[in-house]
């Protein structure tokens, strides 16, 4: 029986993909490294430093750890400035209704995000106080597909893994949910995932017949 739903943030609650893209493109251009939306897609759900490594794998020069740290900081400063444009209007369709429905049914809800900017993003879109727990990039040592973020979110809700469902847009996140022994729901790009227990075209489908709740 599912008693809690853990939501990924970027790509599930709000789409910051384009903002990450713009910020990484600035770094890639500055360094003369090829970068496009296909490469950006590989960065979904992946931590900042791992994202940088993926981008630098196409560079002709070798970067020192200090240089990498500096690039990651520059990217984040650029990205955080872009986050200032976010508002409640950027909440993805169906999210607010889904939260309301789950609360009505006494289902606990949490955020399980790789982003160190998760609280800032939630504040900008007006959802900071909507969740029973928030576990983000500041709380974890290992990023998705490691299950740490979801295990900690489940614990913060006071629930066992089998009582939790995870909603994810990234393959790495679906794997993390399965590694946490939770029910994995893939939306958006992850709706193609073979590892997901259930796939939906959008979060609003969670409302339809409470599909996944009925299943468990
Ligand atoms: C998000 C994004 C990733 C990003 C990561 C780290 O994860 O999907 O593209 O690299 O956070 O973000 P930051 O640089 O803000 O710490 P999620 O798990 O919310 O999808
Ligand atoms: Mg995501």
pLDDT, tens digit, for every residue of 65-93? 999 999 999 999 999 999 999 999 999 99
Measure the CA dihedral 62/65/71/73, to 10°.
Answer: 170
CB 133 within 8 A of CB 153: yes
Under CATH, what is the fold of the domain 4-15+88-210? Rossmann fold (3.40.50)
Return the ligand 1 atom nearest residue 50 CA.
10
Packing angle of the helix pair 48-56, 17-31 (nearest 10 deg): 40
Could you tell me how far CA 188 lies from the centroid of its own chain? 12
Which of the ligands is closest to the CA of residue 17?
A: 1
Measure the CA dihedral 205/143/126/23, to 10°.
Answer: -100
d(CA 128, ligand 2 centre) in Å: 17
pTM of the model: 0.92
Q: How many CA atoms lie within 13 A of 26 on its CB side?
A: 16
- Which phi-psi region, left, alpha or beta, contains residue 53 (left: φ > 0; alpha: ψ -120 to 50)? alpha
Q: Which residues pair with 4 in a beta bridge?
A: 108, 164
Q: Whose CA is nearest to atom 14 of ligand 1?
A: 48
Q: Is the pLDDT of residue 210 over 70?
A: no
Confidence class of residue 207 from pLDDT cuts 50, 70 and 90? low
Mean pLDDT on 17-44 = 95
Q: Are strands 198-199 and 108-112 parallel, antiparallel or unpaired?
A: unpaired
Whole-number Å distance between alpha carbons of 76 and 202:
28
d(CA 38, ligand 2 centre) in Å: 16
Can you give the pLDDT at residue 208? 52
Show which residues are catalytic: 8, 10
Task: Note whether 4-15+88-210 and 17-83 share their fold.
Answer: no
DSSP state of 63: P
How do the domains of the chain map onto residue ranges? 4-15+88-210, 17-83
- 32 closest CA partner among 2, 67, 61: 61
- Complete DSSP assignment for 158-213: T--GGGEEEEESSHHHHHHHHHTT-EEEE-GGGGG-SS-SEE-SSGGGGGGGGHHH
Return the ligand 1 atom nearest residue 9 CA.
19
The overall average pLDDT reported for the chain is 93
Q: Which residues pair with 168 in a beta bridge?
A: 186
Ligand 1: residues within 6 Å at CB? 8-11, 20, 43-48, 51, 76, 113-117, 137, 170
User: CATH number of the domain at 17-83, out of 1.10.150.240, 3.65.10.10, 1.10.150.300, 3.30.360.10?
Assistant: 1.10.150.240
Mean pLDDT on 90-99 = 94
pLDDT, tens digit, for every residue of 117-175? 999 999 999 999 999 999 999 999 999 999 999 999 999 999 999 999 999 999 999 99
CB 203 within 8 A of CB 95: yes
d(CA 44, ligand 2 centre) in Å: 6
Whole-number Å distance between alpha carbons of 28 and 158:
42
What ipTM was reported for this prediction? 0.93
């Amino acid at each position: 029986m599912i008693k809690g739903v853990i939501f990924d943030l970027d790509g599930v609650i709000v789409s910051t993909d384009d903002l990450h893209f713009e910020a990484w493109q600035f770094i890639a251009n500055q360094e003369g490294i090829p970068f496009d939306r296909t490469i950006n897609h590989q960065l979904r759900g992946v931590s900042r430093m791992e994202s940088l490594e993926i981008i630098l794998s196409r560079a002709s020069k070798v970067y020192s750890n200090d240089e990498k740290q500096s690039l990651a900081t520059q990217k984040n400063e650029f990205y955080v400035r872009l986050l200032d444009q976010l508002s409640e209007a950027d909440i993805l369709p169906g999210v607010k209704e889904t939260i309301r429905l789950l609360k009505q049914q006494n289902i606990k809800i949490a955020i399980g995000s790789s982003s160190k900017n998760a609280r800032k993003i939630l504040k900008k879109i007006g959802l900071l106080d909507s969740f029973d727990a928030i576990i983000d990039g500041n709380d974890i040592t290992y990023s998705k597909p490691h299950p740490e973020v979801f295990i900690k979110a489940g614990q913060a809700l006071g629930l066992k893994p089998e009582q939790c469902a995870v909603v994810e847009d990234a393959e790495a996140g679906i794997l993390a949910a399965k590694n946490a022994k939770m029910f994995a729901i893939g939306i958006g790009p992850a709706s193609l995932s073979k590892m997901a227990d259930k796939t939906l075209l959008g979060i609003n489908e969670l409302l339809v017949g409470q599909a996944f709740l009925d299943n468990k």
